[in-house]
Copies of this chain bind each other. A is one copy, B any other.
């Protein structure tokens, strides 16, 4: 018995332990959140038009995040010579919003309740989808939070108004967002190839305040110039569809689209935006783990999220 390891604390290797996000505490009662960051799973995928499976996104991203869970010492980045997410940043896992099969309206409403709870607690809400339609209740929850600008990183414009009665599927969220009075504009980056949005959608988007950039256009600008296209002083909500990335690193998604971003394309954009803007909310959607047996997609999602959170709170002075 004298050889066990608990005297000096746990080694806590990544593969050990309950898979909450970054192995942080699970807070079941949403009235008791005391945190700077609140993670909420939104395992809804009835809004997909090709492969479903994003309902297992939250669990997969949580498990992948344990690979990067280094406890209260924070994470040292030698390129930036900086330790991100020190122990002073309080992060908790709210678990998942309740999803009701066959019922889009109720499921979305339940997600909205969770985001409101995070906001009420003064925490940054970080929602892990689920398909991109879960962005709709997220944005709904900001109706009492002041004006926001949306930065969408995605392969698809998602600006369909209505087709066959569908207004809350994963092709509609940016249209729904643009309709909100408190959404002052959108920057839509990574948009490429044909999709469910026709030419009219693009025209409408631009008319409603969207700045649309393809992967090639974004690369030609570079991350700094790209970040500078967002309005100065805007409070920014970031919605990141994992299919913005190249299928080479994100095959586990519902509607893969070749020609997407590589890792540093997005990471450097997020770092620049975090330096310039207050980030008020985040969702990361469309991780479908069953379509990527290597696990790379969920690891990408976790790695991007944790680095982005590090950038945000570094900018807020947590160092």
Contact = CB atoms under 8 A, between A and B. Distances in A.
Given A16-B97, A46-B102, A293-B294, 8 more contacts: A15-B49, A16-B98, A18-B26, A19-B19, A45-B52, A68-B193, A102-B133, A290-B290
B292 A11 contact: no
Nearest to A255: B67
A8 B291 CA distance: 33
A282 B16 CA distance: 20
B303 A295 contact: no
Number of copies: 6
Q: How large is the interface on A (under 10, 10 to 19, 20 to 34, 35 or more residues)?
A: 35 or more
Interface of A: 1, 3-6, 8, 10-20, 26, 41, 43, 45-53, 55-56, 59, 62-63, 67-68, 70, 73, 75-79, 83-84, 93, 95-106, 109-110, 112-113, 133, 157, 163-166, 168-170, 191-194, 196-199, 202, 212, 214, 216-217, 246-249, 251-252, 255-259, 262-264, 267, 290-296, 299-300, 303-304, 306-307
Contact of A70 (B16, B166, B169, B194): B194
Given A104-B102, A248-B246, A294-B252, A5 B79 contact: no
